[in-house]
Chains A and B, each alone.
Chain A
Amino acid sequence: ETGVTQSPTHLIKTRGQQVTLRCSSQSGHNTVSWYQQALGQGPQFIFQYYREEENGRGNFPPRFSGLQFPNYSSELNVNALELDDSALYLCASSFGGTRETQYFGPGTRLLVL
């Protein structure tokens, strides 16, 4: 177990709705990254937060947004859900710099109908 927790574990939404996913980082970690993992594929980087500031972003549209709180927990918000947003959403926490190991949570399985 990595100490990274995510909620909820599963979620079903309909197209056009909005969703918020939550992540609690491992103790002592100040950096959180979010990834999208479609079925049968490797995780794709969405964005990273370091000390409450966005610190890098992958090739995802602006309707994917995030927050990091002073206790280093984090949220991923997705607006105007599309069917292709159905995936496992993973958060990973790490401490500081760019060469630090990222530890993943169990993920939230999102199904968009």
Chain B
Amino acid sequence: QQQVKQSPQSLIVQKGGISIINCAYENTAFDYFPWYQQFPGKGPALLIAIRPDVSEKKEGRFTISFNKSAKQFSLHIMDSQPGDSATYFCAAQDTGRRALTFGSGTRLQVQP
């Protein structure tokens, strides 16, 4: 019940295209959903986060869409750039457990 399932495992997008990464969860106690970006040899860096009281949050080229009834959320990267090439992790946190539960990651490659 603590799992967060992430897809796809890898993604290749052309420069200027839209990258879409999906996540699904089971635990209804989750109430905070961040996305992290990780470059090789670096720690995860917070990209954008959403709480379940809103269905969408946009920051620059990055948008989270959240569907509470389906227990799914997704990250959209608009106008993808080669510098966006990294591994992206969705995560979820519940107030009781305090820990972040991560998805398995999506390796994004943006081709010039």
Contact = CB atoms under 8 A, between A and B. Distances in A.
Interface stretch (A14-22, A63-71, A79-87, A104-112): A104-112
The listed residue with most B CB atoms (<10 A of its CB), out of A41, A44, A90, A98, is: A98
B69 interface: no
B49 interface: yes
B43 A56 contact: no
A45 B31 contact: no
B34 A48 contact: no
B66 interface: no
User: At the interface, is chain A mostly helix, strand, loop or mixed?
Assistant: loop
B102 interface: yes
B31 A104 contact: no
Given A41-B104, A42-B104, A42-B105, A101 B98 contact: no
Contacts of A41: 104-105
Interface of A: 2, 4, 33, 35, 40-45, 48, 55-56, 58, 90, 92, 98-99, 101-107
23 contacts: A2-B45, A4-B43, A35-B100, A42-B102, A42-B104, A43-B89, A43-B102, A45-B99, A48-B98, A56-B97, A56-B99, A90-B43, A92-B100, A98-B95, A98-B97, A99-B31, A99-B32, A99-B51, A104-B45, A106-B41, A106-B42, A106-B43, A107-B42
Given A48-B99, A55-B98, A107-B43, 9 more contacts: A42-B6, A42-B102, A45-B99, A56-B98, A92-B100, A98-B97, A99-B51, A99-B93, A104-B45
